[in-house]
A and B are shown apart, each in its own frame.
Chain A
Amino acid sequence: MNLKVEQIDACRWRIPRQGVMRTEGLVFANRRMMEELRKEQALEQVANVATLPGIVGPSIAMPDIHWGYGFPIGGVAAFDPDEGIVSPGGVGYDINCGVRLLRSALSAGDAVPRLKELADALFRNIPSGVGSHRRDLKLSIQEERKVLRKGASWAVEQGFGSAEDLNHIEEGGTIAEADPELVSDRALERGRAQLGTLGSGNHFIEIQQVEEIMDTRAADCLGLFAGQLTVSIHTGSRGFGYQVCDDYLRTMLRAAQKYGISLPDRQLCCAPLTSPEASQYLAAMACAANFAFANRQLITAWVRESFQQVLALGPADLRLSVIYDVCHNIAKWETHQVQGRPRRLCVHRKGATRAFPPGHPETPELYRQVGQPVLIPGDMGRYSYVLVGTATAFAETFGSTCHGAGRVLSRHAAKNQARGRDIVAELAKKGILIRAAGRATVAEEIPEAYKDVRDVVGVVEQAGIGKIVARLKPLAVIKG
């Protein structure tokens, strides 16, 4: 498929309406990224999303865009409540995969001498996945339903963290529309087995150092200082979310037929937002989102526990507190200005992050002057970034920005490049300690397998859809 693409400016490209597209595509990328993109099918996917009924504004692609199932990863699309659709493929299998960033009172220098012990403690205290569980977390199906309704606040009620944490999580850590009656027994079984686990692949916990502050005012507001020790947690809704997605893909395949929606790609299956199928999916998706918020809240408590154990410091000295927690696979009802008037829209973000501007009521009070924090993980050998949302993002991308780096090498190709190399030793030379549970994981996750996140956030800042606050350097990476 030879798509016509026009350059708008140094970091914006338009895919004009062509074929059966109902709207245009808007891609944030620099020239080099666009050359790469033309070689793979992500742009076709941006165009495919633009064919869906009731789409409002353009089909948007972030600079970390890459090919995904149906919707590209790094895509944003908003739909009208009466004419539009909801699509599980526009959210992804890992519903509410997201990132949480913790600040501390420590300088990285305080922790570096004990880094290996800290990494070991995190590895020991936080189960990675199948076959490993915390003995102090036993979940009945009944209790699990409470997790699905309450999200992070369930975890706080059980003694994992404090109410203060909830003020610094997207949605306060709970999406209210969750209805556990709308998830399958199968999803409940998978969820029960996996609540409180990290997962593997590109999920991780990272101990970091604030390497550079780019925006002093915003950094002060976010409680970040140069040389500070921070911790990132990247994980999602585990098997629970994957099952909800699989279950509702089946529902939506039937629904698309039932409602006569023609699909250029089966994985774009969807239902009208006015349909019962749509409400059911959103209520089930909210359960999965809440599962993920609870999961990150549990893991936060165990991160605090690990630091207390190793450094023999109490909470008042460590002050490991939540800067923010963001989703990057989600669909949400939000109000946005469209051609001068406010409209309620169902915004899909798959591999994209909400980035609300200064002054927005959903930006936590503490940050309202500078904008909602946005947490962008890089790959395990390089850096991560902290950004804040902007008015430009709110105007152009439904308040959205990128989510990370995106893969460039297949796992097979990565393993080939890693062959004969001692990746763990290479990272150690850079001052990065890695602890991984899965055998293939380290080779498949080598830095070269990913785009350079610096380029991605560079385009974001150039386009004005995010403002860089700080760069974080990894010190230790714990992977499932």
Chain B
Amino acid sequence: MPEAGGYRLLEHTADIGLEIWGRSLNIFFEQAGEGLRDILFGPVSGTPEICRRIEVSGQDSGQLLVNWLNEFLFLWETENLIPVEINVIEASPDHMVAWVGGIFFDPARHGIEREIKAATYHQLQVKEENGEWRGRIFLDL
């Protein structure tokens, strides 16, 4: 995991959360995506078979994080795509653009750890502190 950013899973009775940090907002969102992939699939790697440009907006940075992660869920459910390379090329507190390289789910190679219903607004937090972006988000399982 790059020292410039990271994530860890947060325990919760019924659901699961992510605590995320990044030296830049770009890295913050990349780590959030990696965290979500980890929750969904466990460790996965591979060479991308397809690339998608994702553009997301939000009323504030918290909603932006919710919308960003829900975007992944949408790609997963509708195209069976697992994001293996995440590059956030533009990020501001209410808008972001990313290129996501994905591989198609293959039941022979990949397993599904969990089904996630949605990224939620519970205890949602995204803030910049001492030159670092830190945040927390909970996912409805």
Binding site for B on A (CB under 8 A): 40, 66-70, 73, 93-94, 129-131, 186, 189-190, 193-194, 199-201, 239, 242-243, 245-246, 249-250, 253-254, 266-267, 407-413, 437-441, 444, 480
Contact = CB atoms under 8 A, between A and B. Distances in A.
Q: Which secondary structure characterizes the binding site on chain B?
A: loop
A131 B104 CA distance: 10
Nearest to B79: A193
Contacts of A245: 118
Contacts of B80: 130-131
Interface stretch (B19-27, B29-37, B46-54, B108-116): B108-116
A465 B113 CA distance: 38
A131 B107 contact: yes
A94 B118 CA distance: 10
Contact of B78 (A66, A190, A437, A439): A190
B117 A439 contact: no
B61 interface: no
Nearest to B113: A440
B77 A190 contact: yes
Contacts of A129: 112, 115
Nearest to A246: B118
A250 B70 CA distance: 13
Interface residues of B, number: 32
A44 to B, nearest CB: 13
B117 A186 contact: no
A130 B141 contact: no
Contact of A200 (B42, B70, B115): B115
Given A130-B105, A131-B105, A267-B122, A193 B114 contact: no
B99 interface: no
Contacts, number: 99
B135 to A, nearest CB: 15
Contacts of A444: 114
A68 B121 contact: no
The 7 A-B residue pairs with the shortest CB-CB distance in the complex, in nearest-first order: A242-B117, A200-B115, A410-B11, A412-B11, A93-B117, A440-B113, A439-B111
B56 to A, nearest CB: 12
23 contacts: A40-B13, A67-B13, A67-B14, A93-B120, A130-B77, A190-B74, A190-B77, A200-B114, A200-B115, A239-B73, A242-B73, A249-B121, A267-B120, A407-B13, A407-B14, A409-B13, A410-B12, A410-B13, A413-B11, A438-B115, A440-B113, A440-B114, A441-B114
A411 B17 CA distance: 11
A69 B121 contact: yes
B140 interface: yes
A412 B59 contact: no
A66 B12 CA distance: 12
B113 A412 contact: no
Interface string B98-136: 000000010100011111011011101000000000000
Given A131-B80, A200-B115, 15 more contacts: A67-B14, A68-B14, A94-B117, A189-B74, A194-B77, A200-B114, A201-B114, A239-B77, A246-B118, A266-B124, A267-B120, A412-B9, A412-B11, A412-B16, A438-B111
A468 to B, nearest CB: 26
A194 B105 CA distance: 16
A444 B42 CA distance: 15
A375 to B, nearest CB: 21
Contacts of A200: 112, 114-115
Contacts of B78: 189-190, 193
B14 A199 contact: no
Interface centre among A407, A411, A439 (most CB of B within 10 A): A411
A480 to B, nearest CB: 7
B46 to A, nearest CB: 16
B140 A93 contact: yes
Interface centre among A131, A200, A437 (most CB of B within 10 A): A131
Contacts of A189: 74, 78
